[in-house]
Amino acid sequence: MSMVFIGLICPSKNNREMWKLKKEVGSLILKAVKERKEAESENDLLQMILEGANEVRPHSIDSFIVDNCKNIYFAGHETTATTASWILMLLASHLEWQNRVRDEVIEVCGGSLPDFDMLRKMRTLTMVIQEALRLYPPAPLVTRSALRSTKLGELNIPKGVNLWIPIIILHQDPEIWGPEANKFNPHRFSHGIGKACKFPQVYLPFGTAPRTCVGQNFAMVELKILVSVILSKFSFTLSSTYKHSPAFHLVIEPNHGVYLLMKKL
């Protein structure tokens, strides 16, 4: 059976809003760059991007800076930071999984910082991250534009139409993930993504095909290191002030933050 997963098809005139937003983000970045150039130079990523910009042709300097800032600060930072918050929230509210992952961290790392081999061995931790990315994919949709009229399964898609592929809906469809689709259950990934649901191609936290996330392996390494180091030093529960309110602000993030009560081990 061939399936087409398209949530919303919208005409290209919505592109105007998108371009306006893009321009505004670009101006904000260039304003921050101007401030930096007028202040002291610092040893950080922005400075490296500015130094890199000296190597490009003068008319491309602004777009080089804006594109690289968007890639690293938005694509690379917000997504991973938000995922880390959701993972900690889920582990704080599912103590059996918190203990299980901590046992694995202690067994595999034995008190030292994780190296590459150790990260590979921590399968329960991987399952927990995969399940957090299923329930709270920071990028809730990916988009594609039809550059020419095309046919997807039974669906005719005219040239110029934008396709929105709603990752978050695909990730929680009970017909695909079973009646407990909304529950946190990392077990579903115990035999890999291929066996986690009826149509594993719908699991798209990092997008798909040629434009799939270039930073996905790096993000997984960052998340594994962060969570394993925290678990090896602390136990934690959710604070009573935590209000569950996932909100879509370009990424899906906890609207009121995640407050945890940490206890040193």
Q: Residue from 205, 227, 228, 260 that binds ligand HEM (CB under 6 A)?
A: 205
Residue 18 makes contact with ligand HEM by CB under 6 A: no
DSSP the chain: -------EEE-GGGHHHHHHHHHHHHHHHHHHHHHHHHS---SSHHHHHHHHHTTS-GGGHHHHHHHHHIIIIIIIIIHHHHHHHHHHHHHHH-HHHHHHHHHHHHHHHTTSPP-HHHHHH-HHHHHHHHHHHHHS-SS-EEEEE-SS-EEETTEEE-TT-EEEEEHHHHHT-HHHH-TTTTS--GGGGTT-GGGSSS-GGG--TT--GGGS-TTHHHHHHHHHHHHHHHHHHEEEEE-TT----EEEESEEEETT---EEEEE-
In the complex with ligand HEM, the residue whose CB is nearer, 215 or 261, is 215
Question: Nearest distance from residue 38's CB to ligand HEM, in Å?
Answer: 28
Pick 44 or 96: Cβ nearer ligand HEM? 44
The answer to whether residue 114 forms part of the interface with ligand HEM (CB under 6 A) is no
Q: Binding of ligand HEM at residue 252 (CB under 6 A)?
A: no
Please select the residue that binds ligand HEM; options are 127, 206, 258, 260, rule is CB under 6 A.
206
Quote the tokens at residue 17: 């809003």
Dihedral (C-alpha) 77, 97, 237, 119: value to the nearest 10 degrees? -40
Among 32, 75, 118, 238, binds ligand HEM (CB under 6 A): 75
Binding-site member from 15, 61, 67, 71 for ligand HEM (CB under 6 A): 71
Which residues within the stretch 124-143 sit at the binding site for ligand HEM (CB under 6 A)? 138-139, 142
**Least distance (Å) from ligand HEM to the CB of residue 211?**
4
Residue 93 is a binding residue for ligand HEM (CB under 6 A): no
Provide, rounded to whole angstroms, the least separation between the CB of residue 67 and ligand HEM: 9
CB 151 within 8 A of CB 214: no
- Residue 89 C-beta: closest distance to ligand HEM, Å: 15
Q: Is 213 part of any known ligand binding site?
A: yes
- Contact between 213 and ligand HEM by CB under 6 A: the answer reads yes
Q: Closest CB to ligand HEM among 19 and 218? A: 218
Single residue of 56, 95, 113, 214 touching ligand HEM by CB under 6 A: 214
192: left (phi over 0), alpha (psi -120 to 50) or beta: left
Asked if 76 interacts with ligand HEM (CB under 6 A), we say yes
Residues that bind ligand HEM (CB under 6 A): 71-72, 75-76, 79-80, 83, 138-139, 142, 205-208, 211-215, 218-219
